[in-house]
Amino acid sequence: LQPFIEAEKLRMGGDGTASSKGKILMATVKGDVHDIGKNIVGVVLGCNNYDIIDLGVMVSADKILKIAREEQVDIIGLSGLITPSLDEMVHVAKEMERQGFKIPLLIGGATTSKTHTAVKIAPHYAQPVIHVLDASKSVPTASTLLGDDKWAFANQIAADYERIRIQREGKKSSKQYLSIEKARANKVKINWTGYTPPQPQFTGTKVFDKYDLAELAAYIDWTPFFSSWQLFGKYPAIFEDKTVGAEATKLYDDAQAMLKTLIAENWLAARAVIGFWEAKSNDTDDVILENGTQLHHLRQQREKAPGQPNYCLSDYIAPIDPTKQDFIGGFAVTAGIGIEEHVARFEKNHDDYSAIMLKALADRLAEALAERMHERVRKEFWGYAKEEDLSNTDLINETYKGIRPAPGYPACPDHTEKATLFDLLAAEKNTGIFLTESFAMYPAASVSGWYFSHPEAKYFPVSSIDNDQLVDYAARKGMDLETASRWLSPLLED
């Protein structure tokens, strides 16, 4: 579409500027490296005659606002995937208010929500602050905000957000928490006396360099691939969807063609490191490794129905007992080594579609590598499921024994624990993955987490905690309360 858009601008305005609908600055906020969704939004807006200034990823508030002033943009759009990005968006909003900005602020990204925008961001900025659910909503939102109905729309959004804030206050008052002591007393009851933990083949780490991408292709979960393009439906049924089926089929065919090429031409390098360490759990939700390293976990604290435990990951590691020898594992994998030169090549040729496609495929290959390594851990390196014979569908549905929860995600939502994992694995040295200041992994096509072998281990969310657990957790980590509150803010009730 770009040649047609440029020709239309010249036809309408002579100098190529008259027909622009407005100038929009977009950025993934400081500490975050994810940009597929942002890039799709930028393409959609660009194809609708908006001038897009895309600052890329890991962009500080100072840089965003400095360039916004210099370029006299009409709208700022912020994107982020990891939960620490939510606080950075609040910071940007506060700075926009302090510096006297008078333009709308749009919020988007997988971890963002209408509720978070209403409760945490909008109160800090007097101008319109609007959560944009996906790319399809970006054009009408921008058009309305820059049109004659701007304030009617903004007032409607403000009223809706006020209703959300009032509603949330009511929900907060109705939440019932157990004390952290009572929650621990209601832990998962495991019969450790009758259980012998499996022993891995080795302790310490094992590195896998240049893992075969062709092998990984068979482990790809394609459903999230379509979601990243904002085509929603389960693979392969999505191909029969009356609304998106035809486009999903085209997209899949293009993905298969690029996947074949990138494997044949070695565009990407996939690397992995796994590790196992002797481990014991204590009575304060920590897992203690043989070398003294402490892994800190959070426990569900909401009051449960009778018979329902308050889960914590440490429940799945044998308690301190000289007669029991238990282990925990960890991993970090990436399929993003070498991606930059190919993305740059596509972007230089204004081929946004191929650039986004490559990033989306790299993400899928990284997840596939995490899946494959976990399978090998269960069948080979830890060997507690040697006879396992599961299809890729079974793997996607998590019918295997054991779990691989990731720091920063529901069962262990503290991103800062990723630093301990990376130290244990020497992940940066062994894989090339490094952590940003917000504990995002770069390359973005990377996955890391813990391995738990106990057959009763299951995934669960720790969605909110009470203040007594916050204080207890900060003390266990040796972290001041203000810092702990910042990292755990999505779990706290204000």
For residues 300 and 307, give the distance between their C-alpha atoms in angstroms, rounded to a whole number. Answer: 14
Q: Which two tokens stand for residue 270?
A: 């996939």
463 is catalytic: no
Strand 75-79 to 105-108 pairing: parallel
Give the side-chain half-sphere CA count within 13 A for 405: 25
134 is an active site residue? no
SS3 for the chain, per residue? CHHHHHHHHHHHHCCCCCCCCEEEEEEEECCCCCCHHHHHHHHHHHCCCEEEEECCCCECHHHHHHHHHHHCCCEEEEECCCCHHHHHHHHHHHHHHHCCCCCCEEEECCCCCHHHHHHHHHHHCCCCEEECCCHHHHHHHHHHHCCCCHHHHHHHHHHHHHHHHHHHHHHHHHCCECCHHHHHHCCCCCCCCCCCCCCCCCCEEEEECCCCHHHHHCCCCHHHHHHHCCCCCCCCHHHHCCCCHHHHHHHHHHHHHHHHHHHHCCCCEEEEEEEEEEEEECCCCEEEECCCCEEECCCCCECCCCCCCCCCHHHHCCECCCCCCEEEEEEEEEEEECHHHHHHHHHHCCCHHHHHHHHHHHHHHHHHHHHHHHHHHHHHHCCCCCCCCCCHHHHHCCCCCCECCCCCECCECCCCHHHHHHHHHCHHHHHCCEECCCCCEECCCEEEEEEECCCCCCCCCCCCCCHHHHHHHHHHHCCCHHHHHHHCHHHCCC
Per-residue buried b or exposed e for 34-65, using 16+ beta carbons within 10 Å of the residue's own CB: bbbbbbbbbbbbbeebbbbbbbebbbbbeebb
Q: Of residues 79, 85, 228, 438, which has the active-site annotation?
A: 85
Examine the residue annotation and report whether 394 is marked as an active-site residue of this protein. Answer: no
Pull the structure tokens for residue 238: 């999505």
Q: Answer yes or no: are the C-beta atoms of 228 and 363 closer than 8 Å.
A: yes
Catalytic residue among 34, 342, 374, 415: 34
Residue 418 CA to residue 83 CA, distance in Å, equals: 13
Q: Given 32, 285, 414, 472, which residue is catalytic?
A: 32
- Catalytic center residues: 32, 34, 85
